[in-house]
C-alpha cells in the first residue's frame, strides 16, 4: 500500500464546469523522490481569473497543456506502478483535490485507481494531537509555492513528521 500525497491547482471551484490546471503527487516515503506532475489543457470555456492566477499560469499557457485524458492515463499508470495493494490518496484539502482527481479519472478513464475514498491530512493531524483547532502546516519543510509538486512534498514532509513526532501508525513503502 502506498500513500500518495496529491495537490492540484484549478481555474475554478468545481470539476466539469471548470478545469484542473495542473497537479502533483509524491509517494510518502523518507526519500520523497518519486513524484508525478501533470499540466492539463482546459476542458471548459469557463474560468475564474483569480483562481487561475494562483497557479501562476495564464489562460493562453493552459490552452497549450497536454490532453487531459492522456495525462490522467499516465497518472493512473504511475499510481499502479508505485506500490502493492490499494493506493491511498491523501491531501491537505481533500475536499478540493479529491473532487478534481476523482472526477477526471472517472470522466476520462471510467475508473479511479484510488477507489472511492481519500484522507485529509489536516483532519488526520487534528485527531493525532486531539485538538480540532490545531494546524499541521508548521511541520512542512518545503515552502508552499502553489507548484503542486512543492506543495505535495511539503505535505508529505508533514505526514512523515506526524509519524515520527506523534507515533502515527502508518505503513510506508
The domains of the chain are located at: 3-166
* φ and ψ at residue 98, rounded to 5 degrees: -60, -40
Joined grid coordinates for residue 31:
526519500
**Topology classification of domain 3-166:** Nucleotidyltransferase; domain 5 (3.30.420)
DSSP conformation letters of 35-72: EEEEEB--SSS---HHHHHHHT--HHHHTTSB-HHHHH
Q: Are strands 3-10 and 88-91 parallel, antiparallel or unpaired?
A: parallel
Q: Which tens digit of pLDDT belongs to each residue from 149-161?
A: 999 999 999 999 9
pTM for this entry = 0.96
pLDDT of amino acid 169: 87
Q: Which tens digit of pLDDT belongs to each residue from 33-67?
A: 999 999 999 999 999 999 999 999 999 999 999 99
DSSP conformation letters of 63-85: TTSB-HHHHHHHHHHHHHHS-SS
Joined grid coordinates for residue 113:
485507481
Half-sphere exposure of 74 (CA within 13 A, CB side): 15
> How many whole angstroms separate alpha carbon 111 and alpha carbon 88?
15
Give the mean pLDDT of the chain: 95
- The residues carrying an active-site annotation are 146
Amino acid at each position: 500500500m502506498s500513500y500518495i500525497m496529491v495537490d492540484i491547482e484549478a481555474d475554478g471551484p468545481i470539476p466539469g464546469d471548470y478545469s484542473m490546471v495542473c497537479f502533483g503527487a509524491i509517494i510518502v516515503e523518507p526519500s520523497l523522490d518519486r513524484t508525478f506532475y501533470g499540466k492539463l489543457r482546459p476542458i471548459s470555456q469557463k474560468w475564474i481569473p483569480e483562481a487561475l492566477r494562483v497557479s501562476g499560469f495564464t489562460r493562453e499557457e493552459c490552452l497549450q497543456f497536454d490532453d487531459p485524458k492522456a495525462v490522467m492515463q499516465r497518472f493512473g499508470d504511475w499510481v499502479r506502478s508505485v506500490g502493492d495493494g490499494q493506493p491511498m490518496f491523501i491531501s491537505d484539502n481533500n475536499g478540493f483535490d479529491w473532487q478534481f482527481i476523482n472526477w477526471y479519472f472517472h470522466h476520462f478513464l471510467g475508473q479511479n485507481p484510488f477507489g472511492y475514498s481519500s484522507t485529509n491530512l489536516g483532519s488526520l493531524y487534528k485527531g493525532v494531537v486531539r485538538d480540532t483547532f490545531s494546524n499541521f502546516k508548521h511541520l512542512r519543510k518545503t515552502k508552499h509555492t502553489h507548484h503542486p509538486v512543492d506543495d505535495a512534498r511539503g505535505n508529505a514532509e508533514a505526514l512523515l513528521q506526524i509519524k515520527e513526532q506523534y507515533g502515527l501508525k502508518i505503513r510506508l513503502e
